[in-house]
Structure 1
Amino acid sequence: MRMEELTWPDFEEAKKSIDTVLIPVGSVEAHGRHLPLGTDVFAPLELCRRVEERVRNAGKDVLIAPPIWYGHTFVLNVYPGTIDVRADAFKAYVREVISEFVEEGFKRVVLMNGHGGNVYPLIEAAEEVAESYPNAEIWLINWWIDFREDILSICSSQGHAGQDETSVMLAIRPELVKMDKAVGEKRTSRVRVIRKDIGRELFPDGVNDDPGSATRENGEAILGVISEKIARLLLGED
Protein backbone atom coordinates (compact mmCIF):
# COMPACT_ATOMS: atom_id res chain seq x y z
CA MET A 1 0.00 0.00 0.00
CA ARG A 2 1.53 3.29 -1.12
CA MET A 3 0.75 6.19 1.19
CA GLU A 4 0.87 8.88 -1.51
CA GLU A 5 -1.90 7.12 -3.41
CA LEU A 6 -4.34 7.25 -0.49
CA THR A 7 -6.85 9.93 0.44
CA TRP A 8 -6.76 11.06 4.04
CA PRO A 9 -9.89 9.01 4.93
CA ASP A 10 -8.23 5.98 3.28
CA PHE A 11 -5.12 6.64 5.34
CA GLU A 12 -7.13 6.97 8.55
CA GLU A 13 -8.84 3.65 7.82
CA ALA A 14 -5.55 1.92 6.97
CA LYS A 15 -4.08 2.88 10.34
CA LYS A 16 -6.67 0.74 12.07
CA SER A 17 -5.07 -2.46 10.76
CA ILE A 18 -1.49 -1.45 9.90
CA ASP A 19 1.12 -0.83 12.58
CA THR A 20 4.27 -0.73 10.41
CA VAL A 21 5.42 1.89 7.93
CA LEU A 22 8.38 1.43 5.57
CA ILE A 23 10.28 4.58 4.59
CA PRO A 24 12.75 4.26 1.68
CA VAL A 25 15.74 6.55 2.32
CA GLY A 26 18.53 7.26 -0.13
CA SER A 27 20.44 10.00 -1.89
CA VAL A 28 20.84 11.70 -5.22
CA GLU A 29 24.49 11.22 -6.14
CA ALA A 30 27.01 10.03 -8.68
CA HIS A 31 27.15 6.28 -9.29
CA GLY A 32 29.87 5.99 -11.87
CA ARG A 33 29.20 6.77 -15.50
CA HIS A 34 26.85 3.81 -15.84
CA LEU A 35 24.20 4.13 -13.09
CA PRO A 36 21.56 6.83 -12.55
CA LEU A 37 21.82 9.45 -9.82
CA GLY A 38 18.76 7.99 -8.08
CA THR A 39 20.21 4.49 -7.57
CA ASP A 40 20.23 4.78 -3.77
CA VAL A 41 16.46 5.38 -3.76
CA PHE A 42 15.49 2.98 -6.55
CA ALA A 43 16.97 0.03 -4.62
CA PRO A 44 15.29 0.52 -1.21
CA LEU A 45 12.01 1.49 -2.86
CA GLU A 46 12.01 -1.78 -4.81
CA LEU A 47 12.88 -3.70 -1.65
CA CYS A 48 9.93 -2.05 0.11
CA ARG A 49 7.65 -3.04 -2.77
CA ARG A 50 8.77 -6.67 -2.63
CA VAL A 51 8.62 -6.84 1.15
CA GLU A 52 5.11 -5.39 1.13
CA GLU A 53 4.03 -7.99 -1.42
CA ARG A 54 5.45 -10.88 0.62
CA VAL A 55 3.93 -9.60 3.86
CA ARG A 56 0.56 -9.14 2.16
CA ASN A 57 0.69 -12.70 0.82
CA ALA A 58 1.12 -13.81 4.43
CA GLY A 59 -2.11 -12.04 5.40
CA LYS A 60 -0.74 -8.79 6.84
CA ASP A 61 -0.23 -5.26 5.54
CA VAL A 62 2.46 -2.61 5.79
CA LEU A 63 2.41 0.96 4.53
CA ILE A 64 5.09 2.24 2.13
CA ALA A 65 5.74 5.93 2.70
CA PRO A 66 7.05 8.30 0.00
CA PRO A 67 10.86 8.11 -0.27
CA ILE A 68 13.28 10.53 1.33
CA TRP A 69 15.33 11.28 -1.77
CA TYR A 70 18.09 13.60 -0.59
CA GLY A 71 20.73 12.39 1.85
CA HIS A 72 24.10 13.15 3.38
CA THR A 73 26.77 12.51 0.75
CA PHE A 74 29.85 14.61 1.53
CA VAL A 75 32.42 12.33 -0.11
CA LEU A 76 30.76 12.12 -3.52
CA ASN A 77 29.88 15.81 -3.65
CA VAL A 78 32.93 16.29 -5.89
CA TYR A 79 30.87 14.92 -8.81
CA PRO A 80 28.12 16.77 -10.73
CA GLY A 81 24.57 15.75 -9.86
CA THR A 82 25.36 14.87 -6.25
CA ILE A 83 23.06 16.80 -3.91
CA ASP A 84 24.52 16.80 -0.40
CA VAL A 85 22.45 17.63 2.68
CA ARG A 86 24.53 18.39 5.76
CA ALA A 87 24.35 15.68 8.40
CA ASP A 88 22.68 17.81 11.08
CA ALA A 89 19.97 19.06 8.70
CA PHE A 90 19.36 15.57 7.34
CA LYS A 91 19.14 14.09 10.84
CA ALA A 92 16.70 16.77 11.98
CA TYR A 93 14.48 16.31 8.91
CA VAL A 94 14.33 12.51 9.25
CA ARG A 95 13.68 12.82 12.98
CA GLU A 96 10.62 14.96 12.26
CA VAL A 97 9.35 12.52 9.64
CA ILE A 98 9.70 9.55 12.00
CA SER A 99 8.07 11.50 14.83
CA GLU A 100 5.06 12.32 12.66
CA PHE A 101 4.48 8.68 11.80
CA VAL A 102 4.71 7.75 15.49
CA GLU A 103 2.23 10.54 16.29
CA GLU A 104 -0.08 9.05 13.65
CA GLY A 105 -0.11 5.84 15.68
CA PHE A 106 2.37 3.56 13.90
CA LYS A 107 4.21 1.34 16.37
CA ARG A 108 7.09 0.40 14.06
CA VAL A 109 8.90 2.65 11.59
CA VAL A 110 11.33 0.91 9.25
CA LEU A 111 13.99 3.06 7.59
CA MET A 112 14.96 1.17 4.43
CA ASN A 113 18.27 2.86 3.72
CA GLY A 114 20.18 2.69 0.46
CA HIS A 115 23.08 5.07 1.13
CA GLY A 116 26.17 4.75 3.32
CA GLY A 117 26.49 8.42 4.20
CA ASN A 118 23.05 8.32 5.82
CA VAL A 119 23.85 5.65 8.39
CA TYR A 120 25.10 7.72 11.33
CA PRO A 121 22.55 10.56 10.96
CA LEU A 122 19.76 7.97 10.73
CA ILE A 123 20.94 6.25 13.92
CA GLU A 124 20.97 9.57 15.76
CA ALA A 125 17.55 10.55 14.43
CA ALA A 126 16.10 7.19 15.49
CA GLU A 127 17.65 7.45 18.96
CA GLU A 128 16.19 10.91 19.50
CA VAL A 129 12.71 9.72 18.51
CA ALA A 130 13.02 6.65 20.73
CA GLU A 131 13.88 8.87 23.70
CA SER A 132 10.80 11.02 23.10
CA TYR A 133 8.46 8.11 22.34
CA PRO A 134 9.35 5.11 24.56
CA ASN A 135 6.75 2.88 22.88
CA ALA A 136 8.06 3.52 19.37
CA GLU A 137 10.26 1.00 17.59
CA ILE A 138 12.50 2.20 14.77
CA TRP A 139 14.32 -0.25 12.54
CA LEU A 140 17.28 0.81 10.43
CA ILE A 141 17.96 -1.58 7.55
CA ASN A 142 21.08 -0.94 5.47
CA TRP A 143 20.53 -3.58 2.81
CA TRP A 144 24.10 -3.87 1.49
CA ILE A 145 25.55 -4.09 5.04
CA ASP A 146 22.97 -6.14 6.93
CA PHE A 147 22.81 -8.79 4.21
CA ARG A 148 26.43 -8.74 3.10
CA GLU A 149 26.91 -12.49 3.51
CA ASP A 150 23.89 -13.19 1.31
CA ILE A 151 25.10 -10.73 -1.32
CA LEU A 152 28.61 -12.19 -1.40
CA SER A 153 27.14 -15.65 -1.87
CA ILE A 154 25.73 -14.30 -5.14
CA CYS A 155 28.33 -11.73 -6.25
CA SER A 156 32.11 -11.96 -6.02
CA SER A 157 32.40 -8.38 -4.74
CA GLN A 158 30.38 -5.40 -3.65
CA GLY A 159 30.93 -1.66 -3.49
CA HIS A 160 29.57 1.72 -4.47
CA ALA A 161 28.21 1.43 -8.03
CA GLY A 162 29.89 -1.97 -8.03
CA GLN A 163 28.93 -5.48 -8.99
CA ASP A 164 26.12 -5.88 -6.46
CA GLU A 165 24.53 -2.45 -6.85
CA THR A 166 24.79 -2.58 -10.64
CA SER A 167 23.20 -6.04 -10.68
CA VAL A 168 20.32 -4.75 -8.56
CA MET A 169 19.78 -1.83 -10.92
CA LEU A 170 19.83 -4.18 -13.93
CA ALA A 171 16.95 -6.02 -12.26
CA ILE A 172 15.01 -2.86 -11.35
CA ARG A 173 15.59 -0.33 -14.15
CA PRO A 174 17.75 -1.93 -16.87
CA GLU A 175 16.93 0.87 -19.31
CA LEU A 176 18.85 3.29 -17.06
CA VAL A 177 22.04 1.20 -16.85
CA LYS A 178 24.87 1.82 -19.34
CA MET A 179 26.90 -1.37 -19.13
CA ASP A 180 29.29 -0.19 -21.85
CA LYS A 181 30.50 2.39 -19.30
CA ALA A 182 30.54 0.03 -16.30
CA VAL A 183 34.19 0.14 -15.27
CA GLY A 184 35.92 0.62 -11.94
CA GLU A 185 38.16 -0.86 -9.29
CA LYS A 186 38.22 -1.41 -5.55
CA ARG A 187 39.87 1.35 -3.53
CA THR A 188 40.52 1.25 0.22
CA SER A 189 42.11 3.43 2.88
CA ARG A 190 43.80 2.20 6.07
CA VAL A 191 42.15 5.00 8.04
CA ARG A 192 39.18 7.26 7.41
CA VAL A 193 40.50 10.36 5.66
CA ILE A 194 38.17 13.35 5.58
CA ARG A 195 39.08 15.87 2.93
CA LYS A 196 36.88 17.80 0.53
CA ASP A 197 38.23 16.08 -2.59
CA ILE A 198 38.82 12.61 -1.10
CA GLY A 199 36.01 11.22 -3.26
CA ARG A 200 38.14 11.48 -6.39
CA GLU A 201 40.73 9.16 -4.81
CA LEU A 202 38.41 6.62 -3.18
CA PHE A 203 35.67 6.74 -5.83
CA PRO A 204 37.27 7.39 -9.23
CA ASP A 205 34.46 8.45 -11.57
CA GLY A 206 32.09 7.75 -8.65
CA VAL A 207 32.82 4.01 -8.44
CA ASN A 208 34.50 1.81 -5.81
CA ASP A 209 34.41 -1.75 -7.20
CA ASP A 210 34.40 -3.47 -10.58
CA PRO A 211 30.82 -3.48 -11.92
CA GLY A 212 31.70 -5.12 -15.24
CA SER A 213 30.47 -8.61 -14.29
CA ALA A 214 27.09 -7.44 -12.97
CA THR A 215 24.03 -9.31 -14.25
CA ARG A 216 20.28 -8.96 -14.03
CA GLU A 217 20.05 -12.52 -12.70
CA ASN A 218 22.32 -11.68 -9.78
CA GLY A 219 20.27 -8.58 -9.08
CA GLU A 220 17.06 -10.59 -8.97
CA ALA A 221 18.70 -13.09 -6.62
CA ILE A 222 19.88 -10.31 -4.29
CA LEU A 223 16.49 -8.61 -4.20
CA GLY A 224 14.75 -11.94 -3.69
CA VAL A 225 16.77 -13.16 -0.73
CA ILE A 226 16.87 -9.77 1.02
CA SER A 227 13.16 -9.05 0.64
CA GLU A 228 12.30 -12.55 1.84
CA LYS A 229 14.44 -12.19 4.96
CA ILE A 230 13.10 -8.73 5.80
CA ALA A 231 9.51 -9.92 5.34
CA ARG A 232 10.14 -12.85 7.68
CA LEU A 233 11.57 -10.46 10.28
CA LEU A 234 8.52 -8.22 10.04
CA LEU A 235 6.23 -11.24 10.38
CA GLY A 236 8.16 -12.44 13.42
CA GLU A 237 9.21 -15.65 11.71
CA ASP A 238 12.97 -15.17 12.27
Structure 2
Amino acid sequence: MMMENLTWDEFKEVKERIDTVVIPIGSIEAHGKHLPLNTDVLAPVEIAKRVEKKLQEIGKDVLIAPPVNYGHTFVLNVYPGTINVRAETLRAYVRDIIEEFATEGFKRIILLNGHGGNVYPLVEAAEDAAEKFEDIEVWLINWWIDFREDILSICSSQGHAGEDETSVILAIKPELVKMGKAVGEKRAYGVRKIKKNIGLELFPEGVNDNPRGATREKGEAILEIVSEKIMRLILEELR
Protein backbone atom coordinates (compact mmCIF):
# COMPACT_ATOMS: atom_id res chain seq x y z
CA MET A 1 0.00 0.00 0.00
CA MET A 2 1.49 3.31 -1.11
CA MET A 3 1.26 5.88 1.66
CA GLU A 4 1.25 8.90 -0.66
CA ASN A 5 -2.02 7.72 -2.22
CA LEU A 6 -3.89 7.72 1.09
CA THR A 7 -5.93 10.41 2.75
CA TRP A 8 -5.32 11.02 6.45
CA ASP A 9 -8.38 9.07 7.54
CA GLU A 10 -7.42 6.17 5.27
CA PHE A 11 -3.93 6.26 6.79
CA LYS A 12 -5.48 6.15 10.26
CA GLU A 13 -7.34 2.98 9.32
CA VAL A 14 -4.27 1.41 7.73
CA LYS A 15 -2.02 1.91 10.74
CA GLU A 16 -4.53 0.11 12.94
CA ARG A 17 -4.07 -3.12 10.99
CA ILE A 18 -0.54 -2.83 9.53
CA ASP A 19 2.50 -2.59 11.80
CA THR A 20 5.29 -2.63 9.20
CA VAL A 21 6.41 0.29 7.03
CA VAL A 22 9.06 0.16 4.31
CA ILE A 23 10.98 3.37 3.58
CA PRO A 24 13.03 3.31 0.34
CA ILE A 25 16.16 5.43 0.68
CA GLY A 26 18.49 6.39 -2.15
CA SER A 27 20.66 9.10 -3.56
CA ILE A 28 20.83 11.54 -6.46
CA GLU A 29 24.27 11.09 -7.96
CA ALA A 30 26.32 10.30 -11.05
CA HIS A 31 26.05 6.73 -12.31
CA GLY A 32 28.34 6.87 -15.29
CA LYS A 33 27.07 8.40 -18.50
CA HIS A 34 24.63 5.56 -19.08
CA LEU A 35 22.38 5.50 -15.99
CA PRO A 36 20.03 8.15 -14.55
CA LEU A 37 20.95 10.20 -11.50
CA ASN A 38 18.15 8.59 -9.47
CA THR A 39 19.33 5.00 -9.99
CA ASP A 40 19.71 4.50 -6.24
CA VAL A 41 16.10 5.59 -5.73
CA LEU A 42 14.57 3.61 -8.58
CA ALA A 43 15.97 0.28 -7.34
CA PRO A 44 14.69 0.28 -3.72
CA VAL A 45 11.32 1.74 -4.75
CA GLU A 46 10.84 -1.05 -7.30
CA ILE A 47 11.95 -3.72 -4.84
CA ALA A 48 9.52 -2.36 -2.24
CA LYS A 49 6.65 -2.51 -4.74
CA ARG A 50 7.49 -6.10 -5.63
CA VAL A 51 7.70 -7.09 -1.97
CA GLU A 52 4.31 -5.50 -1.39
CA LYS A 53 2.77 -7.33 -4.34
CA LYS A 54 4.12 -10.68 -3.17
CA LEU A 55 2.74 -10.13 0.32
CA GLN A 56 -0.66 -9.06 -0.98
CA GLU A 57 -0.89 -12.25 -3.03
CA ILE A 58 -0.90 -14.23 0.22
CA GLY A 59 -3.19 -11.88 2.11
CA LYS A 60 -0.56 -9.83 3.94
CA ASP A 61 0.40 -6.18 3.57
CA VAL A 62 2.92 -3.51 4.47
CA LEU A 63 2.88 0.25 4.09
CA ILE A 64 5.29 1.67 1.51
CA ALA A 65 6.39 5.18 2.50
CA PRO A 66 7.49 7.85 0.00
CA PRO A 67 11.24 7.54 -0.70
CA VAL A 68 14.05 9.60 0.75
CA ASN A 69 15.60 10.74 -2.50
CA TYR A 70 18.79 12.48 -1.35
CA GLY A 71 21.67 10.72 0.36
CA HIS A 72 25.24 11.03 1.61
CA THR A 73 27.49 10.84 -1.44
CA PHE A 74 30.81 12.51 -0.65
CA VAL A 75 32.86 10.37 -3.03
CA LEU A 76 30.79 11.07 -6.14
CA ASN A 77 30.31 14.75 -5.43
CA VAL A 78 33.05 15.47 -7.96
CA TYR A 79 30.56 14.81 -10.78
CA PRO A 80 27.79 17.10 -12.04
CA GLY A 81 24.32 16.13 -10.87
CA THR A 82 25.45 14.61 -7.59
CA ILE A 83 23.59 16.25 -4.71
CA ASN A 84 25.42 15.42 -1.50
CA VAL A 85 23.78 15.55 1.92
CA ARG A 86 26.08 15.60 4.92
CA ALA A 87 26.13 12.40 6.97
CA GLU A 88 24.90 14.16 10.11
CA THR A 89 22.04 15.76 8.17
CA LEU A 90 20.89 12.44 6.73
CA ARG A 91 21.19 10.81 10.15
CA ALA A 92 19.01 13.45 11.80
CA TYR A 93 16.48 13.53 8.97
CA VAL A 94 15.96 9.77 8.82
CA ARG A 95 15.92 9.55 12.61
CA ASP A 96 13.04 12.02 12.67
CA ILE A 97 11.18 10.01 10.02
CA ILE A 98 11.65 6.78 11.97
CA GLU A 99 10.47 8.43 15.17
CA GLU A 100 7.38 9.84 13.45
CA PHE A 101 6.38 6.40 12.21
CA ALA A 102 7.04 5.00 15.68
CA THR A 103 4.79 7.68 17.17
CA GLU A 104 2.10 6.70 14.65
CA GLY A 105 2.26 3.19 16.08
CA PHE A 106 4.36 1.23 13.60
CA LYS A 107 6.44 -1.44 15.30
CA ARG A 108 8.68 -2.54 12.43
CA ILE A 109 10.34 0.14 10.32
CA ILE A 110 12.34 -1.12 7.34
CA LEU A 111 14.93 1.15 5.75
CA LEU A 112 15.35 -0.25 2.23
CA ASN A 113 18.61 1.36 1.18
CA GLY A 114 19.93 1.72 -2.36
CA HIS A 115 23.16 3.66 -1.77
CA GLY A 116 26.44 2.74 -0.09
CA GLY A 117 27.22 6.16 1.35
CA ASN A 118 24.02 6.02 3.37
CA VAL A 119 24.88 2.92 5.39
CA TYR A 120 26.62 4.45 8.41
CA PRO A 121 24.23 7.43 8.79
CA LEU A 122 21.28 5.05 8.59
CA VAL A 123 22.69 2.72 11.24
CA GLU A 124 23.18 5.69 13.55
CA ALA A 125 19.69 7.06 12.82
CA ALA A 126 18.19 3.67 13.64
CA GLU A 127 20.18 3.42 16.87
CA ASP A 128 19.07 6.91 17.91
CA ALA A 129 15.41 6.01 17.37
CA ALA A 130 15.69 2.61 19.03
CA GLU A 131 17.11 4.26 22.15
CA LYS A 132 13.99 6.42 22.39
CA PHE A 133 11.34 3.87 21.39
CA GLU A 134 11.91 0.55 23.12
CA ASP A 135 8.98 -1.19 21.40
CA ILE A 136 10.16 -0.73 17.80
CA GLU A 137 12.65 -2.56 15.64
CA VAL A 138 14.38 -0.96 12.69
CA TRP A 139 15.67 -3.09 9.83
CA LEU A 140 18.38 -1.79 7.54
CA ILE A 141 18.35 -3.69 4.25
CA ASN A 142 21.13 -2.84 1.79
CA TRP A 143 19.85 -4.83 -1.17
CA TRP A 144 23.10 -5.16 -3.12
CA ILE A 145 25.10 -6.14 0.01
CA ASP A 146 22.70 -8.38 1.91
CA PHE A 147 21.93 -10.47 -1.16
CA ARG A 148 25.37 -10.33 -2.78
CA GLU A 149 25.75 -14.07 -3.20
CA ASP A 150 22.42 -14.31 -4.97
CA ILE A 151 23.27 -11.37 -7.23
CA LEU A 152 26.66 -12.82 -8.12
CA SER A 153 24.95 -16.04 -9.13
CA ILE A 154 23.28 -13.92 -11.83
CA CYS A 155 25.95 -11.34 -12.70
CA SER A 156 29.68 -11.80 -13.17
CA SER A 157 30.47 -8.74 -11.03
CA GLN A 158 29.04 -5.97 -8.87
CA GLY A 159 29.88 -2.31 -8.65
CA HIS A 160 28.68 1.26 -8.82
CA ALA A 161 26.85 1.69 -12.14
CA GLY A 162 28.16 -1.77 -12.98
CA GLU A 163 26.67 -4.96 -14.34
CA ASP A 164 24.21 -5.52 -11.50
CA GLU A 165 22.90 -1.95 -11.16
CA THR A 166 22.72 -1.45 -14.91
CA SER A 167 20.80 -4.70 -15.29
CA VAL A 168 18.32 -3.63 -12.61
CA ILE A 169 17.64 -0.27 -14.26
CA LEU A 170 17.30 -1.99 -17.64
CA ALA A 171 14.49 -4.01 -16.03
CA ILE A 172 12.85 -1.00 -14.35
CA LYS A 173 13.32 1.90 -16.79
CA PRO A 174 15.03 0.66 -19.96
CA GLU A 175 14.27 3.93 -21.74
CA LEU A 176 16.60 5.75 -19.33
CA VAL A 177 19.63 3.52 -19.97
CA LYS A 178 22.17 4.48 -22.63
CA MET A 179 24.09 1.26 -23.17
CA GLY A 180 26.15 2.86 -25.93
CA LYS A 181 27.85 4.94 -23.22
CA ALA A 182 28.24 2.08 -20.74
CA VAL A 183 31.96 1.74 -20.00
CA GLY A 184 33.95 1.17 -16.83
CA GLU A 185 36.27 -1.03 -14.82
CA LYS A 186 36.63 -2.29 -11.25
CA ARG A 187 38.97 -0.27 -9.05
CA ALA A 188 39.82 -0.62 -5.36
CA TYR A 189 42.47 0.19 -2.77
CA GLY A 190 43.71 -2.13 -0.06
CA VAL A 191 42.43 0.29 2.58
CA ARG A 192 39.72 2.94 2.63
CA LYS A 193 41.14 6.26 1.43
CA ILE A 194 39.33 9.47 2.26
CA LYS A 195 40.45 12.60 0.48
CA LYS A 196 38.97 15.32 -1.64
CA ASN A 197 38.20 14.23 -5.21
CA ILE A 198 38.87 10.56 -4.44
CA GLY A 199 35.93 9.82 -6.73
CA LEU A 200 37.98 10.73 -9.77
CA GLU A 201 40.37 7.86 -8.93
CA LEU A 202 37.90 5.24 -7.71
CA PHE A 203 35.02 6.06 -10.03
CA PRO A 204 36.39 7.21 -13.40
CA GLU A 205 33.45 8.72 -15.31
CA GLY A 206 31.29 7.86 -12.31
CA VAL A 207 31.61 4.06 -12.66
CA ASN A 208 33.37 1.32 -10.69
CA ASP A 209 32.75 -1.93 -12.58
CA ASN A 210 32.27 -3.10 -16.14
CA PRO A 211 28.58 -2.58 -17.05
CA ARG A 212 28.78 -4.04 -20.55
CA GLY A 213 27.45 -7.45 -19.51
CA ALA A 214 24.21 -5.99 -18.17
CA THR A 215 20.89 -7.23 -19.56
CA ARG A 216 17.24 -6.70 -18.76
CA GLU A 217 16.88 -10.42 -18.05
CA LYS A 218 19.60 -10.29 -15.40
CA GLY A 219 17.89 -7.28 -13.84
CA GLU A 220 14.57 -9.09 -13.67
CA ALA A 221 16.26 -12.07 -12.04
CA ILE A 222 17.93 -9.83 -9.44
CA LEU A 223 14.71 -7.99 -8.63
CA GLU A 224 12.83 -11.26 -8.32
CA ILE A 225 15.24 -13.00 -5.97
CA VAL A 226 15.85 -9.94 -3.80
CA SER A 227 12.16 -9.08 -3.43
CA GLU A 228 11.30 -12.72 -2.74
CA LYS A 229 13.88 -12.99 0.04
CA ILE A 230 12.82 -9.72 1.64
CA MET A 231 9.19 -10.79 1.46
CA ARG A 232 9.99 -14.04 3.23
CA LEU A 233 11.95 -12.22 5.96
CA ILE A 234 8.97 -9.95 6.58
CA LEU A 235 6.51 -12.82 6.42
CA GLU A 236 8.32 -14.64 9.21
CA GLU A 237 7.69 -11.66 11.47
CA LEU A 238 4.06 -11.13 10.44
CA ARG A 239 2.97 -14.60 11.54
Q: TM-score range by the shorter chain?
A: over 0.9
The equivalent residue for 1:189 is: 189
Q: Deviations over 1:129-172 (max 9, x none)?
A: 00100110100000000000000000000000000000000000
Distance 1:95 1:199 in 2: 28
Matches within 5 A, 1:3-18: 3-18=3-18
> Where in structure 2 are there 5+ consecutive unaligned residues?
none
Q: Distance in 1 between matches of 2:54 and 2:135?
A: 26
Q: Kindly provide the CA deviation profile for residues 39-61 of structure 1, in whole angstroms up to 9, marking residues without a partner as x.
A: 00000000000000001111111
| SS at structure 2 position matched to 1:118 | helix
Alignment of 1:158 onto 2:137: no
Aligned pair count reads 238
Counterpart of 1:100 in structure 2: which amino acid?
Answer: E
Q: Which amino acid aligns with 2:211?
A: P
Distance 1:105 1:205 in 2: 45
Q: How many Å separate the matches in 1 of 2:55 and 2:206?
A: 35
Equivalent residue number for residue 85 of structure 2: 85
* 1:46-61 alignment runs, 5 A limit: 46-61=46-61
Residue segments in structure 1 that go unaligned for 5+ positions in a row = none
User: Percent identity among equivalent residues?
Assistant: 70
Matches within 5 A, 1:115-126: 115-126=115-126
TM-score by length of 2: 0.99
Amino acid at match of 1:229: K
What residue is the counterpart of 1:129 in the other structure?
129
Task: Give the counterpart letter for 1:142 in structure 2.
Answer: N
Taking the aligned partners of 1:175 and 1:28, their CA distance within structure 2 comes to 18
How far off is 1:75 after superposition? 0.2
Question: Which secondary structure does the structure 1 equivalent of 2:150 belong to?
Answer: helix
Q: CA deviation at 1:16?
A: 1.3
Letter in 1 for 2:90: F
Determine the C-alpha separation between the residues in 1 that align with 2:139 and 2:219. 24
Shift, 1:90, TM fit:
0.7
Match of 1:213 in 2: 213
Partner Cα distance (2:15, 2:213) in 1: 44
The reply to whether residue 74 of structure 1 matches residue 101 of structure 2 is: no
For residue 194 of structure 1, give the secondary structure of its aligned residue in structure 2: coil
- With the length of structure 1 as denominator, give the TM-score of the two structures: 0.99
The whole-number CA distance in structure 2 between the counterparts of 1:210 and 1:90 is 30
Task: Give the Cα separation in 1 of the matches to 2:51 and 2:77.
Answer: 31
2: distance between equivalents of 1:91 and 1:16?
Answer: 28
For the residue of structure 1 that corresponds to 2:134, the secondary structure is coil
Cα root mean square deviation, aligned = 1.0
Quick one: which amino acid aligns to residue 176 of structure 1? L
Secondary structure at the aligned position of 1:236 is classed as helix
Partner of 2:140: 140
Please state how far the C-alpha of 1:202 moved relative to its aligned partner.
Answer: 0.1
Aligned AA (2:64): I
Residue by residue, what CA displacement relative to the aligned partner does 1:85-111 show, whole Å, maximum 9, x if unpaired?
000011000000000000000000000
Kindly state the Cα deviation for residue 37 of structure 1 after the two structures are TM-superposed.
0.1
Residue of structure 2 in register with 1:101 after alignment: 101
Whole-Å separation in 2 of the counterparts to 1:227 and 1:220 = 11
